[in-house]
Amino acid sequence: MKTPSAIELCCVLVLTVCGLGMAQSVAAAEVAGVHYQATSQTGSTRLLLNGAGIRQLASVGLYTVGLYTEKKLASANEVLNTTGATQLRMVMLRETSAKKLADMLTQGLVNNATDEGLAPLVSEIFEVGMMLSEHANLLAGDTIQVDSHPLTGTTITIQGNAGSKPVSQTFANPHVFKAMMGIWLGSSPVDPALKSALLGASI
């Protein structure tokens, strides 16, 4: 049996490394004029764009969403049960009252969790509602970002596009992330097409 030469072994190694790089490569996405970069960061953890899409309401775009994960996750269960860092970024496409958005998000929570699952989250849901109430209206370009990290918990940040000071709060409750992600990735998502896009259908 012929023993591979050093050159042949080097070629195999290079091809293997290149293959791994290609497997992890991911493209940026443009959704309704909103650009989502191929990578993002939460804390010191580098994340890859898993998918991006648009939330339609009455056939009109309400906001876009980009989901970033440490590695490609192809199913909702993988995202909901991941122990790695994750980031979800919403960008508003049109002006919406904060109360209306809060009502829609709350309904998404209720539709994708049991009463037993929501009971330990009452105070956190209230706090998120209070954060939104600080903005009478969310304008086109305003963002809501959800960062989850195994060491720091789940941080929700609301940022106006007019340079206003961001409103941010971190929740240590480990169930907050899964409940929030359930709005878009649960069994009754707010927009099934958006759910598919966040799992990579649009990339």
pLDDT in tens, 73-101: 999 999 999 999 999 999 999 999 999 99
Q: pLDDT (tens digit, 9 = 90+) per residue, 135-147? A: 889 999 999 999 9
The whole-number pLDDT of residue 5 equals 57
Indicate whether 174 pLDDT > 70: yes
All domains of the chain, ordered by start, with CATH? Answer: 26-201 (3.50.70.10)
pTM, two decimals, is 0.84
CA 24 to chain centre: 18
> How far apart, in Å, are the Cα atoms of 185 and each of 6, 76, 78, 131?
49, 6, 10, 23
The maximal CA–CA distance of the chain, rounded, in angstroms, is: 76
- Would you state the structure tokens that stand for residue 48, as one six-digit string? 């890859």
Q: pLDDT (tens digit, 9 = 90+) per residue, 29-69? A: 999 999 999 999 998 899 999 999 999 988 899 999 999 99
Higher per-residue confidence, 11 vs 36: 36
Degrees to nearest 5, angle at CA 53 with 50 and 59 = 165
- The closest of 44, 81, 157, 173 to 118, measured between CA atoms, is 173
